[in-house]
């Protein structure tokens, strides 16, 4: 599961002046709706929810200068692969990612991608792995703003006592994703 992580110049600009053009689709999945957005640089958002309008509003908040277009056949194929990852989490997924965040967030998101499906780690263990043992809360904050659910698997990070805390798209979705992964791991 290799993907290219890229950052972009965040120079403020006006809507329409080199604004991001993103193709967007919303598909159903075993855990609710999945909004998938792709910029010219790669996959920019995978958002989870129950209401398509709320997902579109969240996308607009994340990309206030964005110009949004409908899906195309290539994006529909990517969305189908993302949904398939829910039931088959060990499946290969190789696509460019257009992640936008601070250097620390980027570092956390790269580390999240290295957590194998069907396993979990803790916020404090991930912070220690990054060489920042006192940064468990910052790791949690980076997980909370992860724009690419499932592909950047922040659901695999749990509290030190094993509690499923703080998942941006709801603890029940986190539990469902982890259960799908555990089941897939047992079936191998």
- 68 sits in the region (left: phi over 0; alpha: psi -120 to 50; else beta) called beta
- β-pairing, 21-29 vs 32-38, is antiparallel
Express each pLDDT in 25-44 by its tens digit: 999 999 999 999 999 999 99
Residue 146's closest CA among 120, 118, 174, 124?
174
Reported pTM: 0.86
Check residue 14 and give its pLDDT: 42
Question: Which residues are known to be catalytic?
Answer: 154
Using one digit for the tens of pLDDT, what is the confidence trace for 42-85?
A: 999 999 999 999 999 999 999 998 899 998 899 999 999 999 99
Domains of the chain: 103-187 (1.10.10.10)
Distance (Å, rounded) from C-alpha 12 to C-alpha 74?
30
Q: At 188, is the pLDDT very low, low, confident or very high (cuts 50, 70, 90)?
A: low
Backbone angles phi, psi at 111, to 5 degrees: -65, -35
């Amino acid at each position: 599961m290799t993907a290219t992580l890229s950052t972009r110049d965040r120079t403020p600009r006006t809507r329409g002046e080199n604004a991001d053009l993103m193709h967007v689709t919303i598909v159903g999945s075993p855990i609710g709706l999945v909004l998938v957005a792709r910029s010219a640089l790669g996959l920019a958002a995978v958002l989870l929810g129950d209401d398509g309008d709320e997902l579109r509003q969240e996308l607009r908040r994340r990309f206030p200068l964005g110009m949004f277009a409908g899906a195309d056949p290539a994006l529909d194929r990517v969305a189908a692969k993302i949904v398939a990852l829910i039931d088959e989490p060990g499946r290969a997924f190789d696509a460019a990612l257009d992640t936008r965040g601070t250097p620390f967030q980027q570092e956390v998101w790269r580390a999240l991608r290295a957590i194998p499906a069907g396993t979990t780690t803790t916020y404090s263990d991930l912070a220690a792995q990054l060489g920042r043992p006192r940064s468990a809360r910052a790791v949690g904050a980076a997980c909370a703003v992860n724009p690419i659910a499932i592909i950047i698997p922040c659901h695999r990070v749990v509290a030190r006592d094993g509690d499923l805390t703080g998942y941006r798209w709801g603890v029940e979705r986190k539990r469902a994703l982890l259960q799908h992964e555990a089941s897939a791991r047992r079936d191998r």
